[in-house]
Amino acid sequence: MRTVRTATRRQPALVDLAQARFENTFVRDLPADPVRINIPRPVSNAAYTRVEPTPVAAPKLLAWSDALGEFLGLSRPSATSVEVLGGNRVLAGMEPYAARYGGHQFGHWAGQLGDGRAITLAEIIATDGSRQDLQLKGAGKTPYSRTADGRAVLRSSLREFACSEAMFHLGVPTTRALCLIGTGDPVVRDMFYDGHPAPEPGAIVCRVAPTFVRLGNFQILTANGEIDALKRLADYVIREHFAGFSYAAWYQEVCRRTALLMVDWMRLGFVHGVMNTDNLSILGVTIDYGPYGWLEGYDPMWTPNTTDAQGRRYCYGNQPGIAQWNLARLAEALLPIIEREKLEEGLNLYADTFNDAWRSALAQKLGLESPDEELAAEVLDALAESETDFTLFFRKLAHVPLAGSDNELLAPLRPAFYAVDAPHEKLVAWLLRYVKRVAADRAARMDRVNPKYVFRNYLAQQAIDAMAAGDASALDRLMRVLARPYDEQPESEEFAARRPEWARHKAGCSALSCSS
Ligand code: AMP
Ligand code: MG
């Protein structure tokens, strides 16, 4: 009997992680650390060290990303799989390792860093045929742990889990997160670095990305004169992720992608917080969610990272310049295999790509047909006049009427203002020019680029507090809202509100340390 064929493709059936097939190309194709001893030490002539996760007391599934699970072809995990995701079991076919990398931290070469608490279990083939690494963050000590414990606390793990997925749904290139596992083990942290260490619940995030290779993976090899290994790593990354590119074209493509990533961060008001060269991905995706934050009141000097409060090296406005600085450090690391001229071209391409795309992004945010640099520069200046919520301002700007009194022009924007009685003279002057330049039907277009919902720090903190009290439903609800950040979702209005006053100076809501 002949069967009917329909145009819709059937969703492949989801399988449990324990039934999945794994690959290990990173391990197979790159030089391994010949030493297998799992104690902190300098490693040489290697891209990674084989190491297994350290078991935890009582792994418990706290959150799961259905969207990512479906993409990977994975069903919600069985009890066995929760053991695997908590680091208590390694499945047949997995060859776990910690990667070796170095990096510039806050502008200074820090030597060997490496996966001090992240362990990649294996690669899995996603439903689109792509190969994806499964990595546990907080899975125990590795040779790269230095003096630290290899673990992660619930608050930072939840923040990484949720923000990875929120960024994906915002359309920003990012590593993903499959699940959040409570370990049942306490982890001692001095949260404020003020000499008061205290136990906190421990957790593990399973992160997913085509690769977790960072700029620093190349830097450490060149810094140690391991040029053969450098070539092998470059060949591997190009073969797997930049097929057909020459070394020079690859570097330039990394520059181009990183420039577009910076435009995404800037257009959304995302501040990474720790843009060290070991925290920049070779794929140009967002990686390593630590003391990140989202602009509330627009302020180019704002940083969520208390460790950076003095220098503000990684503040919102510095991010595009810092990314280029980091790419210049990568260029130095690639000098043994790429001509200086080609590397310089890459850095120029970075600047040109960023400048062009940022101009367009601002035009889109304003709902303009074509870029208007003056109007864009002036709105940012006007936003600094009084504390104005970056996300809400652009979302509400779509609803400013094309004519009216000062008050009528300002009315739709009021929810974005933190200070009720602040002057808005600059802003009104700007609005009067703005409404002459835009069309009445711009709202739908603007809504597609100006999200209503971002993962504000206070929302994160509320989800953390609920989870710590044993309630996973708050995170679950928040994740469902953040899966459609550009939609109105009137039933979830409270998640779009500007930061409440109670959160202005509350730890976790306004500023974060690197303690995680
Ligand atoms: P980060 O600033 O989080 O990107 O981390 C910088 C370096 O410190 C990386 O090599 C991390 O693997 C390592 N690291 C951070 N926290 C821990 C920890 N609790 N245990 C071991 N290594 C860590
Ligand atoms: Mg890092």
Per-residue confidence in pLDDT tens, the chain, 516 aa:
777 776 665 667 999 999 999 999 999 999 999 999 999 999 999 999 999 999 999 999 999 999 999 999 999 999 999 999 999 999 999 999 999 999 999 999 999 999 999 999 999 999 999 999 999 999 999 999 999 999 999 999 999 999 999 999 999 999 999 999 999 999 999 988 889 999 999 999 999 999 999 999 999 999 999 999 999 999 999 999 999 999 999 999 999 999 999 999 999 999 999 999 999 999 999 999 999 999 999 999 999 999 999 999 999 999 999 999 999 999 999 999 999 999 999 999 999 999 999 999 999 999 999 999 999 999 999 999 999 999 999 999 999 999 999 999 999 999 999 998 899 999 999 999 999 999 999 999 999 999 999 999 999 999 999 999 999 999 999 999 999 999 999 999 999 999 999 999 888 888 898 899
Gap between the Cα atoms of 177 and 69, Å rounded: 9
* Cα 224 to Cα 338: distance, rounded to the nearest angstrom: 18
Q: Of 33, 264, 278, 372, which residue is the catalytic one?
A: 278
Residue 9's pLDDT is what?
59
Q: Residue of the nearest CA to atom 4 in ligand 1?
A: 279
Q: What is the pLDDT of residue 494?
A: 96
Beta carbons within 8 Å of 235's beta carbon, 6+ residues apart: none
Query: How many angstroms separate the CA atoms of 205 and 151, rounded?
Result: 11
Ligand nearest to the CA of 274: 1
Centroid of ligand 1 to alpha carbon of 297 (angstroms) = 30
What residue's CA is closest to ligand 1, atom 13? Answer: 116
With beta carbons less than 8 A apart as the criterion, state whether 119 and 144 touch: no
Q: Is 33 marked active-site?
A: no
154-170 and 473-482 helices, crossing angle to 10°: 20
**Does the C-beta of 324 come closer than 6 Å to ligand 1?**
no
The sign of the dihedral angle between the CA atoms of 210, 212, 215, 221 is negative
Q: 417 C-alpha to center of ligand 2: Å?
A: 35
Round to whole Å and give the CA distance between 82 and 127: 21
Protein residue with least CA distance to atom 11, ligand 1: 116
pLDDT at 506 (0 to 100) = 87
Which ligand does the CA of 151 lie closest to?
A: 1
Tokens of 111: 């030597």
Whether ligand 1 lies within 6 angstroms of the CB of 284 is answered as no
Token pair 């304003």 is at which residue? 366
- Which ligand 1 atom sits closest to the C-alpha of 141? 21
- The residue contributing the CA closest to ligand 1 atom 20 is 150
Instruction: Name the residue at shortest CA distance from atom 23 of ligand 1.
Output: 116
The residue whose CB lies within 8 Å of the most ligand 1 atoms, and thus the one to mutate among 113, 137, 200, 275, is 113
Whole-Å CA distances, 31 to 25, 28, 49: 11, 8, 9
Query: Does residue 114 have its Cβ closer than 6 Å to ligand 1?
Result: yes
Residue type at position 166: A
pLDDT given for residue 11 in this prediction: 66
Residue pair 277/326 in contact by the 8 Å Cβ criterion: yes
What's the pLDDT score for residue 391?
98
Query: Counting Cβ atoms within 10 Å, is residue 313 exposed (0-12), middle (13-18) or buried (19+)?
Result: middle
Q: Confirm or reject: Cβ of 290 under 6 Å from ligand 1.
A: yes
